[in-house]
Amino acid sequence: MRFLSRTTRIYREIYIIIALFDIWISDSVLASSQAEIDKHLELGKKLLAAGQLADALSHYHAAIELDPTNYQSYFRRATVYMAIGKSKPALPDLDKVIELKPDFATAYLQRGGIYLKTGQLSDAKADLRRVLELDPSNAEAAKQIEQLTPLAEFAENARNLAENGQYTDAIDFLTRALEISPMDADLRALRADAYEAIGEGFKAASDLRAINRLTTDNTAGHLRVSHLFYRLGDPEQSLNEVRECLKLDPDHKDCFKHYKQVKKVAKAFDAVVKSSEEKQWDVCLQSLEKLTKTIKQKSAGLTRQMDSYQCMCGAKNGDSAAVDVCSRVLEAEPGNADALCNRAEAYKHQDMFNEAIADYQKVLETDKNNQRAKEGIADAQKKLKSSRRRNYYQILGVPRSARKREILKAYRKLAAQYHPDHYKGNDKASAQRKFIDISDAKEVLTDEEKRKQYDSGHDPLDPEQQQGGGGGPGFQHFNQFFQGSGFQFRFHFN
């Protein structure tokens, strides 16, 4: 018995020692874990204060993994989520905080604020009232509760107005409601519809994009925005949006079909933009022709954009169709200063200087400091004055943008017709004067320096503008022929 009793005592002592060791080990582990948790919380707090939110978030993740019962870790992580604009993942954390600590008023306040911003009014009201039960003097909770009633009224008024087609008034109420609940997807969708109804497409697109950020896997939303940007004439943004749809669902048939078409149009449109930026006006016009052939689905906005580029590039390049295209742009946008200046340039290429001056004046009436219009009107007035003398372009029948080869071709044709040795008409004197004009026009327009003088409003062959008077070089050149000598002049076309 004594032996058994002694053995039992030994076993008991060993058991006690093991138990004490286990307690010591457990306390050491707990102490170590708590120290690590505290370290993560402290680092997260410092990083949050420094604005390094992503790094702060990683430390709060680690703290929660080590101790999923610490409400402070969840609350701080929720704070970071809200700071980076991710309210959706913040809500489960705040739910957990309230589960672990039901009397934590700040958690109710934060959650109620999210509910208010997302338009969940009944949930917001419940949380904000709970805050005031726990902290009756909480001014922020009282302020947010006061917003609930007008918010509901704004939304209701907006819906009624939209149903009756009073979209502008509906937008006003929706804008006021969204100032309180900026994350309410339903209100944004309603305002987007109203904006589209009154032709404010880009504002509608902005609201629809916000909805896409608030929701997940919204392929239909991205496709809708892509179609909207295409209609507005912005193929690049349309392409970006349809790509977002395909990121969510690579096999989405409607998105893929739209993507193939928009990709071609965006590439062709980019060529137009690039050539215009590089001031390659003829390339720009060629790119517009290619773009027209690429488009299979017409769009009013895209057509307006193409008209704007054709107006600009055509005017710069001296294209005869530019006046009509610019006029079409101005029908839609009467006060478009760029289109007015472009049309004025196109008028100048056609020697319609009075019309050009009128367009420049329209620009200056609304923007007296518009440098392009100021320089343009001065140039048009100078050319108008010059046009009252001989118009060398008109004499040869070539546009102001004509190149030397075109000028020489026109000159040879007319010179052959009016050369004194070949002219078969009865009015020899008129033909002689015409021949002098043709020769002078060729002399000026094929000489780079003289043409530059002429285009700036100074005729280098005008006797009144030459020092010492007398005839111009062209007149002197042909004078001996017309003085009636027996000299037989033979003209060589070169």
Look at residue 276 in the predicted model and tell me its pLDDT. 96
> For 470-492, how does the pLDDT look when each residue is reduced to its tens digit (9 = 90+)?
444 444 444 434 443 333 444 44
203-226 average pLDDT score: 93
| CB 459, CB 386: distance < 8 Å | yes
When computed from its CA atoms, the radius of gyration of the chain, rounded to whole angstroms, is: 41
- Please report the pLDDT score of residue 465 as a whole number: 59
Domain around 426 = 398-482
Q: Which of 24-33, 241-250, 440-449, 479-488 has the lowest mean pLDDT?
A: 479-488
In a domain, 441, yes or no: yes
Residue 15 lies in a domain: no
Q: What percent of the chain has pLDDT over 90?
A: 63
Gap between the Cα atoms of 428 and 358, Å rounded? 41
pTM for this predicted structure: 0.68
In a domain, 450, yes or no: yes
Q: Is residue 292 part of a domain?
A: no
CB 56 within 8 A of CB 44: yes
pLDDT for the residue 484: 38
Q: Is 253 exposed, middle or buried (0-12, 13-18, 19+ CB in 10 A)?
A: exposed
Region for residue 305 given its phi and psi (left: phi exceeds 0; alpha: psi -120 to 50; beta: otherwise): alpha
pLDDT for the residue numbered 10: 53
Q: State the greatest distance between any 2 C-alpha atoms of the chain, in Å, as a whole number.
A: 167
User: Would 105 be classed as within a structural domain?
Assistant: no
pLDDT of residue 209: 95
Residue 423 falls within a domain, yes or no?
Answer: yes
- Write down the pLDDT at residue 466: 54
Number of domain units in the chain: 1
| Least confident piece of the model among 132-136, 423-427, 444-448 | 423-427
322 to 127, 307, 347: CA distances (angstroms): 64, 9, 9
Q: Is residue 406 part of a domain?
A: yes
What tens digit of pLDDT does each residue of 436-481 get? 889 999 999 999 999 998 888 788 887 665 554 444 444 444 443 4
Is residue 409 domain-resident? yes
60 falls in which pLDDT band (50, 70, 90)?
Answer: confident
Q: What is the mean pLDDT of residues 295-319?
A: 93
Assigned token pair, 71: 């409400």
Proportion of the chain above pLDDT 70, given as a percent: 87
Query: In the predicted model, what is the mean pLDDT of residues 54-61?
Result: 88
Dihedral, 470, 475, 477, 481 alpha carbons, nearest 10: -110
How high is the mean pLDDT of the chain?
86
Helix or strand or coil: residue 383? helix
CATH code, domain with 472 = 1.10.287.110
Residues 6+ apart with CB under 8 A from 25: none
DSSP state of 296: S
State the pLDDT at residue 305.
Answer: 94
* Average pLDDT estimate for 343-353: 92
Strands (E), 173-316: none
- The pLDDT of residue 9: 59
**pLDDT over threshold 50, residue 363:** yes
- 184-212: pLDDT as tens digits: 999 999 999 999 999 999 999 999 999 99
For residue 136, the 8-state DSSP code is T
pLDDT at 313: 97
